[in-house]
Structure 1
Amino acid sequence: MFAPEAEAVARWRVARPSRPGRLPGVRMAGFRDRGAGPVDVRVVPHPAVTLALGFGDGPLVVDAATGRQRQGSLVTGFMHGAVRVRGERVECVQVRLSPVTAHAVLGVSPAELDHVAVTLDDLWGRGAARVREQLAGARSWPDRFALAEALLTRRLETAKTAVEREVAWAWHRIARTRGRVRIDELAVELGWSRKRLWSRFRTQIGLAPKRAARLVRFDHAAHRLAAGEDPAGVAVGSGYVDQPHLHRDVVAFTGVTPAVLAGRTWLAVDHLAW
């Protein structure tokens, strides 16, 4: 039986940019399945909006937790619950967007993408087909990454919407502390009421502040579990009250136990790509 990382290597060819990108809040990786049969993986929730720019012979299919199915180049919000990714002969550039950056790049708030997957055609119209053609015509992964970065740069430069500076600051503070900051403290530091922070943050980021902190903390813990660390140590080191608290959060976000989560192939792919 394959270990998760060995299985990920057997399933995917993963490409990474040779240098950090110039755009804040944007990370990229390239995926090409090795043709060893259909791809069918469960996605682990992550504190980013994901843009999958497909250009291969086979479509990428996402089965959302709501039961809705979409295929093609896709945009998914914060993935909660049993989200599946399927396909054959899949090739794509996957872009992870900070919710602060996603608001400008996509032209919609991540709040409108919560629990759903939408096609790029839905958001960008005919421009989505041009992106696919350009990526398919590129000769190498560096060329594809350069094309994707140029696309995102143009959209940022012409963006008509943006997250408020105070909301962006609150998100970055949550991310830097790995979800271990008190929301009341954020409101006090901003000089806002808790109600105002909750309303602005939820509308522009897509999650309530406390939920965002939980997701960031969970993400940190999930990667430590996948690295083989002891659940009790992960709980303490990630800011949970105790191991049962970690267990409850993992089940709430994924529907599985920490032991099952640690063996999920998607986390191994995550490690290879990012």
Structure 2
Amino acid sequence: MRSARRPTGTLDWALWDIATPRPPCRLPGVGMAGFRPRVHTSADIAMIAHPSLTLLVDMSDEGSLLHDAHGRRGRGSVVAGLLPGALRASGRVGEVLQIRLDPVAAAVLLRASPDLCGTVVPLEEVWGRDAGQAEERLRAAASWDERFAAVVDILGRRLTEPPARSPVDGEVAHAWRRIRASRGRIRVDSLADEVGWSRKRLSARFRSQLGIAPKRAARLVRFDHAAHLLAAGLGAVDVAAASGYVDQSHLAHEVKEFTGFTPTAVAAAPWLAIDDIAWPSSSPSRSPGTRG
């Protein structure tokens, strides 16, 4: 194995205020957070693979959020699909709203194409023609609480729009929930038995509706759990055992595949700071509804 390489990242989260929604603003399958720099600063954020669609909504009027993925550069709000790979957000970043949708929620709320898996695209390509209107409403809000409430309202309205029928089969949604609940430690055969389908049928429906095969989804969810244990300070040996990996080398192989780095490097990676699970609950920069 190659020597450890520390991920590049110059972001100092002590210079940022981080806001999360109060419980009444939460929606199933939806996570939100807001970021505001305490001083006008340049940022360099490398995003780690995550079992959700991640929407980064640029709250600045000039589109200061720069993003670079797979050699494609852009500016402004962006959507990163499952397994985004080398996505970096940089520049003199102002306020940013992060919305994370699990694959089932994304399919229902955004009518998102499964082909988004592994891609990074401008927000309007996924949100639709009213993306600009939604961004304007969010920028005009006086506080993060108002922004979070606006997101809940906007997404709630989309739930009432046709088609009325969910694009995700109940069996597929159940399989996804079981994968998350088991932290990726459930076999596809067991999922198929639970829903009364063949393994082949479940895999095909899951892939066509959520954009990722169930086995791959389970690996991603298990990796996500392991990454947060690493960020919490657990050693690689303990993380491997707690996450269901055969041994430490198995963990290292999975981490390398999903990130390109070693477990030691991932444990110190600044990208985990943008995940609300990884933020220390006692962090002075994190608070519900911090004003924008």
Fold shared by both chains (TM-score > 0.5): yes
Q: Counterpart of 1:96?
A: 100
- CA 1:8/1:49 → structure 2, altered by over 3 Å: closer, same or farther? same
Given the alignment of the two structures, is residue 221 of structure 1 paired with residue 251 of structure 2, yes or no? no
Residue deviations 1:47-100 (CA, integer Å, cap 9, x gap): 011122222144322212x22223222211113432211131321221110110
**1:31-180 equivalence runs, <5 A:** 31-35=35-39, 37-57=41-61, 58-64=63-69, 66-109=70-113, 111-160=114-163, 161-180=166-185
- CA 1:125/1:194 → structure 2, altered by over 3 Å: closer, same or farther? closer
Unpaired segments of 5 or more residues in structure 2?
1-9, 280-285
Q: Would you say how many aligned residue pairs link Structure 1 and Structure 2?
A: 268
Q: Distance in 2 between matches of 1:112 and 1:211?
A: 15
Task: Answer with 227-236 or 161-170: which moved more.
Answer: 161-170
Q: Counterpart of 1:250?
A: 255
Given the alignment of the two structures, is residue 237 of structure 1 paired with residue 237 of structure 2, yes or no? no
Preserved contact between residue 40 and residue 94 of structure 2 (Cα < 8 Å):
no
TM-score, scaled to structure 1: 0.91
Letter in 1 for 2:144: W
Unpaired segments of 5 or more residues in structure 1?
1-5
SS of 2:136's partner is: helix
Q: Distance in 1 between matches of 2:29 and 2:184?
A: 17
Which gives a bigger RCO, structure 1 or 2 (Cα 8 Å, sep 6+)? Answer: 2
Q: Distance in 1 between matches of 2:213 and 2:248?
A: 24
Q: Distance in 2 between matches of 1:194 and 1:104?
A: 24
Preserved contact between residue 188 and residue 214 of structure 2 (Cα < 8 Å):
yes
Q: Give the helix-richer structure, 1 or 2.
A: 1
Task: Answer with 239-248 or 261-270: which moved more.
Answer: 261-270
TM-score, scaled to structure 2: 0.86
Q: Distance in 2 between matches of 1:20 and 1:181?
A: 32
**TM-aligned CA deviation for residue 9 of structure 1:** 2.6
Q: Distance in 1 between matches of 2:112 and 2:78?
A: 14
Task: Answer with 170-179 or 87-96: which moved more.
Answer: 87-96
Residue deviations 1:82-133 (CA, integer Å, cap 9, x gap): 2211131321221110110100111123x22112112122234441111121
Identity of aligned residues (%): 50
